[in-house]
Amino acid sequence: MYEKVKRMTATMRIIHWVNVFSIITAVITGLYIANPFFQSFIAEPAAHKYVMAYNRLFHFFAALLLDVVSIVIFYLYFASRFEKVYKKVIPTKQNLKEFWEVFLNLITLNRRKNFDSTHLDSFNAVYFTVLHLLLLWMLFTGFYMYVQGLESGESAIGRWWPALLHLATDWVGWLLGGHAGVRWWHHFTMWLILSWVAFHIYYQVWRTIFWKEGDIGIVFGGYKFKKQPKEQV
């Protein structure tokens, strides 16, 4: 007998897919901004095409969504009524043990499974946190470059916004050696995030196949299944 276990609320799933599409958009448009990989030979005056401008617009909107959603996630880490992720990230003895056990399960190819797989495990919780740290790094480097274009000190929403960005991000330029360094890191971090995504997808599919608990369904329907111990059946 299998038991149905709820793992993601509707809100969590919406957040997940917003993140997915934002990252896809940000990567595609970001690659174009870094080195425009297609040429727009449209027989129209320059003013009508706006290809780079749209790429930048979508890039900024993707970034905006990621940042805002990350704030929501940060809040839910501590305040979610469903599952407080921070409890799985703090390095308590139990969490360290669980992290280690889940990791061993992965590298021993599912020959050892000494943890409860019905709820969020420490390994995944830490792995998700890494993504948000990478996104935070993207936020700092990204806004450092963004505010260069607001050199007049004015913006559509007032002068506090560029001032705040300078206050929050000028240290990045100091740390990385100016615009060139910041650009390099912003671009490089994209590859780290893509590597993160590659492992994330693989790991969830691998779990689904080897644990035989329907883990991949979590992100679509919100549920997975757990085999009940034989005694209870």
Partner 1 sequence: MQFFSREHLRSVFTKPTNYINTNRGEAYYKALYEKMRKRLDELKAMSPVREADIKFEKMLDMWELSRRDFLKWVSATTALLMLPPNFEPLVAEAAEVMNRVPVIWINIQDCDGNSEALLRSSAPTVDELILEYLSLEYHETLMAAAGDQAEEALEKAVHDFKGKYLLFVEGSIPVGMPEAFTIGRHPETGVERVQRLAKDAAAVIAVGACAAFGGIPAAYPNPTGAVGVMDVVKGKPIVNIPACPANPTNMVGVIMHYVLTGELPELDSLLRPKFAFGYRIHDNCERRAHFDAGEFVEEWGDEGAKNNFCLYKMGCKGPFTFNNCSIVRYNDGTNWPIGIGRGCIGCSEPDFWDKYATERPLAASNIRPPGLNGVESTVDQVGLGILTATVIGIGAHAVASLVAGKKSDENNQ
Please tell me whether residue 160 adopts helix, strand or coil conformation.
helix
Answer whether 146's CB lies under 8 Å from 165's CB: yes
Q: Which CB sits closer to partner 1, 4 or 112?
A: 112
**Phi, psi values for residue 81, rounded to 5°:** -85, -15
Give the one residue of 159, 220, 223, 227 binding partner 1; rule: CB under 8 A: 159
**Among candidates 87, 187, 85, 93, which has minimal Cα distance to 132?**
85
Tell me the per-residue interface mask from 92 to 131 with partner 1, x by CB under 8 A, - otherwise. Answer: --------------xx-xxx--------------------
Give the one residue of 72, 90, 94, 153 binding partner 1; rule: CB under 8 A: 153
Give the one residue of 93, 152, 229, 230 binding partner 1; rule: CB under 8 A: 152
For the CA atoms of 18, 20, 24, 26, the dihedral, rounded to the nearest 10 degrees, stands at: 50
Work out whether 183 is an interface residue with partner 1 (CB under 8 A): yes
Give the one residue of 77, 190, 218, 224 binding partner 1; rule: CB under 8 A: 190
Give the one residue of 104, 206, 214, 226 binding partner 1; rule: CB under 8 A: 206
**Among candidates 135, 136, 190, which has minimal Cα distance to 168?**
136
User: By CB under 8 A, how many residues form the interface with partner 1?
Assistant: 56
Work out whether 187 is an interface residue with partner 1 (CB under 8 A): yes
Which residues, at least 6 apart from 186, have a Cβ–Cβ distance to it below 8 Å?
Answer: 138, 141, 142, 145
Structure tokens at 86: 């921070």
Give the one residue of 154, 220, 223, 227 binding partner 1; rule: CB under 8 A: 154
Cα 224 from Cα 233, distance rounded (Å): 19
Please tell me whether residue 97 adopts helix, strand or coil conformation.
helix
Give the one residue of 90, 178, 220, 228 binding partner 1; rule: CB under 8 A: 178
Please tell me whether residue 151 adopts helix, strand or coil conformation.
coil
- Binding residues (CB under 8 A) for partner 1: these are 31, 34-36, 38-40, 46-53, 55, 106-107, 109-111, 148-149, 151-154, 158-160, 162-163, 166-167, 170, 176-181, 183-184, 187-188, 190-192, 194-195, 198-199, 202, 206, 209-210
